[in-house]
A and B are shown apart, each in its own frame.
Chain A
Amino acid sequence: MSSSLLVTASPHLAGKHSTPRIMWTVEGSLVPVIGAATWFFGPSAILVIAAATAGTMLTERLFGRPGSLRDGSGMITGLLLGLTLPPGLPMWMAFVGGMFGIGFGKMIFGGLGQNVFNPALLGRAFLQAAFPVALTTWPAKTANWWMLRGDNLAPPFLSAHAPDVVTGATPLGLMKFEHQGTALWDLMLGTTGGSLGETAGLLITLCGLYLALRNYLNWRIPASVLLSAAILAGGLHLLDPGRYPDALFTLFSGGLMLGAWYMATDLVTSPVTNKGAWVFGAGIGLLVVVIRIWGGLAEGVMYAILLMNALVPFINRATQPRLFGTGRKAAA
């Protein structure tokens, strides 16, 4: 027996959470969101999300550490990227976005844990720059659930023409360019135009709360994002209700819910300190409202999060915890 004894350093016990378990739980929590996307946008949802995920996982497999697919982090990037894309996007674009997100968002930094920017959002930012028209084409409702919502099956690099679909608009687009509101109930449930996974605000909140309860995301980040956005938007609305949308519209329109619960809370690219989480979230919330109201774009969640990602090292540095037995709490 003594020849087979294990000798390890203390502690000899470990908590029940592991990195793969966190990742796969996040993926599990996205299943209802993907289900809702499929409910609203039909088979197109599955095609786009699958293409983005195939792009991230292939890149992870090619350039990641051996076996790194098993930790589940590559798949999260793909699912989240897919959820931020419009339903009618050609699959090959989603695939390229996934490859870029993992390749340039994660692998060149050294893989899991090393990246500065949220890889899913970096992939989306790349797509937005490369295919601006396709990324802002929002298909209108189709007659049948099973009809594709756009040119999902377009062959790569050949669809130079604008997608041949009847286009609709997102609530944010309507608000910004036509000054037209959307019923709050539609915003909360998700029966509006928009990217695949961003419309069902209430459902996203529930899924995010589940992760917060499991302590797989830092609840301070969504709390801070949503609070700061609501306060700034609500304040502006009070000043001029005719010009600025109210706080609830701000919270439930566009990608704010998906961004607050799933993008900003990416463990790797958010601050490690709890104080830092508040600062980081507040920065995102404020930037989102600023971009939406004064910027040229209808939506600003992606850039707000990417900008704050860049500041994370500074936030960490500025919000180091107070050492036990120092400062005013130390006994004299």
Chain B
Amino acid sequence: MGLFWHSFRHGVHPPDHKELTAALPIRRLPFPDEIVLPLRQHTGKPARPVVRVGDRVERGDTVAEADGHVSAPVHASAAGTVTAIGLWPHPDGSHATAIRIAVERYSAQALRPRIIPEWQGLSRQELVAAVKDAGVVGLGGAAFPAHVKLAPPPEFPIETLMVNGCECEPYLTTDHRTMVEYPERVQLGVRIMMTCLGAKRAIIGIERNKPDAIAAIQATLPTDLDVTVMPLTVKYPQGAEKMLINSALGREVPSGKLPMHVGVVVQNVASLATIAEVFETGLPLIERIVTVTGLGVRNPANLIVPVGTKLGVLLEACGGLTPDAREIVFGGPMMGASAADLDVPVTKGVTGVIALAASECKTQDSWPCIKCGHCLDACPVFLNPQELGAYARAGRWEEMAASHLADCMVCGSCSYVCPSNIPLSQLFAAAKARVRKLKVAS
């Protein structure tokens, strides 16, 4: 059934509001006066700073280097002077160490000579090393270092590269615009990644609500590689790795395992375009495409934003907030985090900034669970969120772990459908942290 419909079971259909920005060409944001570069912009260990306060940096210079394998370096996204290294508000809601750079106002922002080499003629190891040096991480939101995905352990041969062009989160259109405006870049990224992985084929999964993206990708398919486009049902979370593999290949990745265990690597289109871009331009990952949208911002836009640009600057460039703007979300509305502060910088993993007007925000009222079972029908990994929610409220962490809490990916589908507005995914995220603590303690 999954294969026939090109979809997975369960999931939800939130209103997507992509019409706000889906047709807007990507524009470039001018350089801000200050950029703030958190050392933790990726999943894994934070980067280690290699500059000191007072140092002068050019655009593209490394300001922090990768600390270990699952880590990524950070580069200056504009020329200027390091003014401080210290705690600064982070998109995830915490404070984290960040490097502040005062951008030189009249700098030419001239490009340094090629930092990343041309890709032709490089060996697999050299390609992986170049991607690591360029600080490329997954741009779909989770920001997992791209070089780790490019070099899976040799005992798991990769057959299929699954390209994620679903962009199933409502409002966001960065992947959509990337596919429409830079299809060749996506294809080059696919080619480089297939080369690294030794994959025999690639499948580009795109939700059917992006016909122009499907057409653009279709028109640029390479003739010498086995790359196909697969239009997919519009449903959240179609872009979750395991859901996508289930939809496209009809296979369920076993619980507790990764896609590579079934011979698949999933990478998002924006990440692939970025991999291609760093080899094209020779510059590391210092800017990314961000959708600024929502009814709470005056002029929604798709923007190329230097990494480290502060939220306030970004919103100002889009005409500012409307009087009824109520909540600002980093990332998609289903999994993104609220910003409490307009000084928070855009990091590599920020797919969008959504200013929700009061009319778009959900109610703050909550009612008792009426056991309607809608959450069970929504959960894409077939958990019982009703029971898990009851356990979470009672603090029964061990029972939650036994009820497969680890398989929950906190996609938010259960909370979305809950008629009683019970914050299930928040409870589960908190419970996951508690279970981790229990494990560490024991």
Interface segment out of the listed A17-25, A119-127, A131-139, A287-295:
A17-25
Asked if B384 and A12 make an inter-chain contact with CB atoms under 8 angstroms apart, the answer reads no
B368 within 8 A of A: yes
B122 within 8 A of A: no
Known: A6-B338, A273-B376. A12 touches B333 (CB 8 A): yes
In angstroms, Cα B302 to Cα A119, docked, is 54
Asked if A6 and B361 make an inter-chain contact with CB atoms under 8 angstroms apart, the answer reads yes
Asked if A268 and B255 make an inter-chain contact with CB atoms under 8 angstroms apart, the answer reads no
Asked if B327 and A324 make an inter-chain contact with CB atoms under 8 angstroms apart, the answer reads no
What sequence of 0s and 1s flags, for each residue 309-320 of chain A, a beta carbon within 8 Å of any chain B beta carbon? Answer: 000000010001
Asked if B361 and A22 make an inter-chain contact with CB atoms under 8 angstroms apart, the answer reads no
- Give chain B interface residues in 385-442, CB to chain A under 8 Å: 386-387, 404, 407, 410, 412, 415-421, 423, 425-426, 429
Asked if B373 and A11 make an inter-chain contact with CB atoms under 8 angstroms apart, the answer reads no
Asked if A324 and B417 make an inter-chain contact with CB atoms under 8 angstroms apart, the answer reads no
B328 within 8 A of A: yes
B367 within 8 A of A: yes
* Residues of chain B lying within 8 A (CB to CB) of residue A182: none
* Residues of chain B lying within 8 A (CB to CB) of residue A271: 373
Asked if A268 and B376 make an inter-chain contact with CB atoms under 8 angstroms apart, the answer reads no
Interface segment out of the listed B147-155, B217-225, B246-254, B279-287:
B246-254
A274 within 8 A of B: yes
* Residues of chain A lying within 8 A (CB to CB) of residue B108: none
- Give chain B interface residues in 320-375, CB to chain A under 8 Å: 321, 325-329, 333-342, 354, 356, 360-365, 367-374
B142 to chain A, nearest CB (A): 14
B20 within 8 A of A: no
Known: A13-B362, A19-B420. A324 touches B373 (CB 8 A): no
In angstroms, Cα B257 to Cα A290, docked, is 49
Asked if A12 and B257 make an inter-chain contact with CB atoms under 8 angstroms apart, the answer reads no
Across the A-B interface, the 3 shortest Cβ-Cβ residue pairs: A11-B412, A14-B362, A9-B426
Asked if B372 and A267 make an inter-chain contact with CB atoms under 8 angstroms apart, the answer reads yes
In angstroms, Cα B328 to Cα A107, docked, is 40
For chain B, the count of residues having a C-beta within 8 Å of the partner chain is: 73
A181 within 8 A of B: no
* Residues of chain B lying within 8 A (CB to CB) of residue A22: 370, 372, 419
Asked if B404 and A323 make an inter-chain contact with CB atoms under 8 angstroms apart, the answer reads yes
* Residues of chain B lying within 8 A (CB to CB) of residue A20: 367
Q: Which residue from chain A places its CB closest to the CB of B14 in the assembled complex?
A: A13
Asked if B340 and A7 make an inter-chain contact with CB atoms under 8 angstroms apart, the answer reads yes
B170 within 8 A of A: yes
* Residues of chain B lying within 8 A (CB to CB) of residue A326: 254-255
Asked if A10 and B327 make an inter-chain contact with CB atoms under 8 angstroms apart, the answer reads no
Q: Which residue from chain A places its CB closest to the CB of B369 in the assembled complex?
A: A113
B242 within 8 A of A: yes
Q: Which residue from chain B places its CB closest to the CB of A19 in the assembled complex?
A: B367
Asked if B329 and A12 make an inter-chain contact with CB atoms under 8 angstroms apart, the answer reads yes
- Give chain A interface residues in 1-56, CB to chain B under 8 Å: 1-2, 4-15, 17-22
A71 within 8 A of B: yes
Interface residues of B (CB under 8 A from A): 12, 14-15, 93, 170, 242, 246, 251-257, 262, 312, 321, 325-329, 333-342, 354, 356, 360-365, 367-374, 376-377, 379-384, 386-387, 404, 407, 410, 412, 415-421, 423, 425-426, 429
* Residues of chain B lying within 8 A (CB to CB) of residue A331: 251-254, 262
Asked if A215 and B374 make an inter-chain contact with CB atoms under 8 angstroms apart, the answer reads yes
Asked if B336 and A323 make an inter-chain contact with CB atoms under 8 angstroms apart, the answer reads no
Asked if A12 and B367 make an inter-chain contact with CB atoms under 8 angstroms apart, the answer reads no
* Residues of chain B lying within 8 A (CB to CB) of residue A19: 367-368, 370, 419-420
Cross-interface CB contact of A18 among B321, B337, B376, B421, cutoff 8 Å: B421
19 sampled A-B residue pairs with Cβ under 8 A: A9-B423, A10-B336, A10-B410, A10-B415, A11-B334, A11-B425, A12-B356, A13-B333, A15-B12, A18-B419, A19-B370, A113-B369, A267-B370, A272-B371, A274-B373, A323-B255, A323-B381, A331-B252, A331-B262
Q: Which residue from chain B places its CB closest to the CB of A329 in the assembled complex?
A: B252
In angstroms, Cα B412 to Cα A128, docked, is 46
What sequence of 0s and 1s flags, for each residue 266-297 of chain A, a beta carbon within 8 Å of any chain B beta carbon? Answer: 01101111100100000000000000000000
* Residues of chain B lying within 8 A (CB to CB) of residue A13: 14-15, 170, 333-334, 360, 362, 416
Asked if B381 and A2 make an inter-chain contact with CB atoms under 8 angstroms apart, the answer reads no
In angstroms, Cα B384 to Cα A224, docked, is 22
In angstroms, Cα B110 to Cα A108, docked, is 74
A314 to chain B, nearest CB (A): 14
Number of A-B contacts defined by CB within 8 Å: 181
B330 to chain A, nearest CB (A): 10
In angstroms, Cα B410 to Cα A111, docked, is 29
* Residues of chain A lying within 8 A (CB to CB) of residue B421: 14, 18
In angstroms, Cα B362 to Cα A17, docked, is 11
Q: Which residue from chain B places its CB closest to the CB of A6 in the assembled complex?
A: B327
Among A9, A12, A112, residue most surrounded by chain B Cβ atoms (within 10 Å): A12
A325 within 8 A of B: yes
* Residues of chain B lying within 8 A (CB to CB) of residue A113: 368-371, 420
In angstroms, Cα B236 to Cα A10, docked, is 14
Q: Which residue from chain A places its CB closest to the CB of B322 in the assembled complex?
A: A1
Asked if A10 and B420 make an inter-chain contact with CB atoms under 8 angstroms apart, the answer reads no
In angstroms, Cα B372 to Cα A320, docked, is 15
A180 within 8 A of B: no
Asked if A17 and B419 make an inter-chain contact with CB atoms under 8 angstroms apart, the answer reads yes
Q: Which residue from chain B places its CB closest to the CB of A4 in the assembled complex?
A: B326
A62 within 8 A of B: no
Cross-interface CB contact of A5 among B252, B338, B419, cutoff 8 Å: B338
Among A7, A11, A19, residue most surrounded by chain B Cβ atoms (within 10 Å): A11
In angstroms, Cα B420 to Cα A268, docked, is 12
In angstroms, Cα B418 to Cα A14, docked, is 8
Cross-interface CB contact of B255 among A71, A73, A272, A325, cutoff 8 Å: A325
* Residues of chain B lying within 8 A (CB to CB) of residue A215: 374
Known: A11-B415, A13-B14, A273-B373. A112 touches B381 (CB 8 A): no
In angstroms, Cα B374 to Cα A8, docked, is 22
Q: Which residue from chain B places its CB closest to the CB of A18 in the assembled complex?
A: B419
Asked if A114 and B383 make an inter-chain contact with CB atoms under 8 angstroms apart, the answer reads no
A321 within 8 A of B: yes
Asked if B382 and A323 make an inter-chain contact with CB atoms under 8 angstroms apart, the answer reads yes
Cross-interface CB contact of B242 among A1, A17, A218, A324, cutoff 8 Å: A324
- Give chain A interface residues in 186-202, CB to chain B under 8 Å: none
Asked if A10 and B340 make an inter-chain contact with CB atoms under 8 angstroms apart, the answer reads no
Cross-interface CB contact of B321 among A1, A111, A272, cutoff 8 Å: A1
Asked if A18 and B416 make an inter-chain contact with CB atoms under 8 angstroms apart, the answer reads no
In angstroms, Cα B312 to Cα A272, docked, is 45
Asked if A268 and B415 make an inter-chain contact with CB atoms under 8 angstroms apart, the answer reads no
In angstroms, Cα B254 to Cα A316, docked, is 24
